[in-house]
Structure formats: structure tokens, C-alpha cells
Amino acid sequence: MNALAIILALALPAAAHEHHNELTEEQMNAPVDSILWIHMALQAFVWGILFPTGMVLGLTRSRWHVPLQSAGFVLTFGGYILGHSHKGRQFPASVHGTYATILFIPILTQIVLGIYLKLHIHERSLRPYAVKLHGIVGKAYPALGWVQMLFGAVTFRGYCRGGHINQCLAHYIMGSGFIAYGVIMAILLIVGENWVRRVGRSPEWWDSWVIMLWGIVNTFTEHHGGSWSVKDMQHTVMGVLWWAGGALGVFLSRNNNRSVVPALVIVLTGWAMSEHAQALMISTKVHSTFGRTLMLAGVTRIIEICFIPSKISNPASEMEGDSHSEHTLGEDESNGGDYTGGFFAKGSGPAKAGKAFRHFPPFLLVAAGLLFMSATDEELEFVHDNGMDHVTYLMIMFSLAFVLYTLILSFIHLYATSGRNAPDSTAGKNIESIEMLPNGRSWYAPVPVGEVETPATAVHVIGDDED
């Protein structure tokens, strides 16, 4: 607690540092000093890597969770002080500075809750609620950090002011949404099979609800009165497309069935975005590439749902003419045959091809999200004024997508191999032994009609074409 008091004593006076609205041209165009560069690098590391890593270790009950988060808190306060101590270039009052102060609320909440939980008091009364609140706030850290890093980037470049605010909101919110979609899809494909099995809902059921609700909001928020422009009509009708397609997806995805409707909505959205007319040629090229990337994400998702095999039939049964056998080969049965359990399950041939292919949709969604976030008028005007062509710019964005997706998979892998999920832990299973659906099916297997086998009942599965 004494350390916390010292940190607050140092940080709170720094909060009094003012960012004035009235700045001279010289102040706003002054060189960036080393202190500001350190501030940006430090906060990007803490909120982009350190805190998410600590969150993952908290989910797996790793002993490294507390030390890592504690280091993150200390570095955050240090970065906050640096952000208010730099010289050189100055910035007008912005949402980045305001949001930095707001972030003290979850930070201090986590510190207080962490200390309280370490005391192990009120075990049967208050502690269960504190545990839940600690988990909720901790899981929000990656989203909080993402938002603040975006605010920092737009503040640094002086974007999203005046008449540009609506376009920034549209690009950054939807782009972040596509990235979040890709992250959730990757989590479900790699380590989420148990959760999908427990809730009894296919991933497309959840996708369809989000698409439908988002479409309803877009339908009534894209036109702000006055005459209808072409973009107003396009965006409003796109909202209609989303809620109409989402409603169909919810209906088709009931009873844990798979559905291609969410992917089809993504394909149509990508096509519409690729046809947007833009003032600059580079903007037209970037939007077109974004749309095609989104279309490809939808197409690969459809292929993954409809055609990627999730199990290998028993060769002996096939030789006997039983082409409808529901038997699934495991490692202990196949003597080197294919095994298609989880994302990283062992196998060869179709199994490995399926595992590799399933990375396509989430990666392409992440790439599409970054492309859309990088396609605002101000960003592309800056790129155009500096003589960069669209090919170079797009390759930079795809490079960032590779880096971001690598980071995402690293966090997921850390979750599957640390703490209680470590291979040598008796409290959990590693990534290659994640429990699957009854009868050896993973959640992306075709959903059979009738009862499924459970350890208690061992009821034979009856498919559509079985007697």
C-alpha cells in the first residue's frame, strides 16, 4: 500500500498538466522529443502486450499473473507521467488525455480488488462477488487498451476533428468490430470447443444475433436528416441487409445447426464496400482491396463450414460398405491415421489441411479490419501527399495484420499451455487434448438429428440417412 501511495502522489500532480486548445503553429509542428517517444512505446507495450498477457495468465490461474499485472500498473503510472512531461510538440485537448484519466478507474479498481482477494477474507459473503468483478474488469483490459491506443494515434496525427469525426467513428468502430470478430473466431476454433458444447449454440447463432442487432442500429443512424446522399442510401440499405440476414441466420442456426448466412452477409458487405466511389484514386484502391479481403473472409468461412472435414470415417467400415458410419478415429485407434480433434490436434492429410485452412477466415477478418481503419480520408490524404502508392500502403497494412494475428495466436497458445492448462498440470488439459463433443465430434462437425452419445447414456447417434 505504501508503494501505491507513492505512485499516486507522483501521478496525480502530473494530471494537472494542461493541453491547451490555443496552440501556435510552431508548437503543434515542433519535433517530437525522446520523452514522448518513450511514452508511446512504453504504453503500447504495457496495454498491447503486458496487460493482455497478464489477463491470460489470470484466466489460467498462473502464479505469474500478479507479478506481471503489478509490473504493468507501475509502468502505466510511469508512462502517464512521461505523457505529461514531454517537451517539443504540443497537442490540443483531446479524448486521449481525457480517457487516460478515466482509465485510472479500472486500474485502481483492479489494484484494490487484487489486494482484497489476497487477504482471503469474507470468503462466503463478499469475496465471490469481488472475484467476479475482478474477472470482468480484467477481461476488459485488452479492449480498453485498444481504444486508448487508437485515441493516441489520432491525437498524434491530429485526425478526427471537426467534420471528420463521423467518418473516423464509422471506420474505427467497424474496423475494430471485424478484428474482434476474427479474434473471437480464432478463440472458438482453437480452444473454445468446450464452451460451444456447454452452451449448446453454434457459433453462427451468436454471429447472426450480433449482425441483426448491429443492422438495426445502422438502419436508423446512417441518415441525419436533409436530402439523401448516395452513401446515406448505401449505408442504410446495408443496415437493412444486416438485420434481415441476421434474422435468417438466427432461424437457421437454432438447435445448434451450422449456417452460412453470416458468412454470406460478410461477402455482400465486402462487395458493397469494394464498389464505394472515392475522391482519390488511392482511396478507391484501398477500399476495393478492403472489400475483396472481406469477401474472401466470407467465402473461406463458407468453405470451412460446408466442406472442411472434421472427422475421418473408419476405413474398415467403408470397406464393408457402411459409408454412413459415425465412428471417428482417435490416436489410440488409427495406428497413425488422421485425427481431427482440435485446431492443433495431431494428424496428417485432410486433418492437417483442415487445420491450416481454418486460419483463413479469422486472419482475413483481422486484415480487413485493419484495412478499413486505415482508409479514412485524412490518413489516405497524408499517404497521397507523401508520394506513397496504394501497393506500398496496402503491403504495410497486411504486414501489420500478420503481426497482430501472430500476437493473437500467441495469447491463445499461452492460455492453452500455462497455469492449470499446462501439459504437466493435473487440473487441466493441454491444447492437444481439449475435450470434444460426444462421440468424438468437434463443435464444427455436422450436427446430427436425434440424441447424441453422452458418457452417462451412450446412446447411438442417429443421422439423417441412418436406419
Domain residue spans of the chain? 1-158
Q: What is the pLDDT of residue 165?
A: 87
Of 444 and 250, more confident: 250
> 163-208: per-residue pLDDT in tens?
788 888 889 999 999 999 999 999 988 888 788 888 888 889 999 9
Phi, psi angles (nearest 5°) of residue 88 = 70, -130
pLDDT classification of 458: cutoffs 50, 70, 90: very low
Query: Given a cut of 90, is residue 301 above it in pLDDT?
Result: yes
CA 247 – CA 242 distance, rounded (Å): 8
Paired residues of 88 in beta bridges: 32
Q: What is the mean pLDDT of residues 256-263?
A: 92
Query: Given a cut of 50, is residue 392 above it in pLDDT?
Result: yes
Query: Given a cut of 90, is residue 220 above it in pLDDT?
Result: no
Q: Which of 186-200, 334-348, 443-457 has the highest mean pLDDT?
A: 186-200
CA 236 – CA 216 distance, rounded (Å): 10
Residue from 203, 175, 187, 170 nearest 365 by CA: 175
Q: Which of 49-58, 199-208, 310-319, 422-431 has the highest mean pLDDT?
A: 49-58
Query: Given a cut of 50, is residue 342 above it in pLDDT?
Result: no
1-158, which class in CATH? mainly alpha
CA 306 – CA 298 distance, rounded (Å): 12
Residue from 10, 9, 28, 30 nearest 19 by CA: 28
Q: What is the pLDDT of residue 457?
A: 40
Share of the chain above pLDDT 90, in %: 48
Angle at 224 between CA 248 and CA 214, to 5 degrees: 25
Of 29 and 269, more confident: 269
Place of cell 489520432: 154
Q: Is 270 within 8 Å of 293 (Cβ atoms)? A: yes
Of 352 and 117, more confident: 117
Q: What is the pLDDT of residue 274?
A: 86
